Amino acid sequence: MIGFTDSEWGCNETDSRSTTGGCFSLGATILSWMSRKQDLVALSSAEVQYIVACEVGKEVVWLSKLLSDLFESLWILL
């Protein structure tokens, strides 16, 4: 599984919230993607990157558990 992430610090002029985005792929197939405003107003670009790392970490754990369950079910069927 390969993941790509990006963020933009304070890009929204209305509420100063940053944007987080990313996608995860397995081979040539996109498994998951996201693009959303962050809940908090970050005071620095380093803080934005820390928030992105936390969000991506949660997504990776969820995807790995999902894939593990799916492949376990396939082995039972075979």
pLDDT in tens, 14-29: 788 888 888 999 889 9
pLDDT digits (tens, 9 = 90+) for 27-61: 899 988 888 888 878 888 888 888 888 888 898 89
Instruction: Categorize the per-residue pLDDT at 72 as very low, low, confident or very high, splitting at 50, 70 and 90.
Output: confident
| Domain of 61, in residue numbers | 2-77
Q: Domain count of the chain?
A: 1
Residues in Cβ contact with 10 at an 8 Å cutoff, skipping those fewer than 6 apart: 16, 17, 18, 41, 42
C-alpha torsion sign, points 17, 39, 4, 57: positive
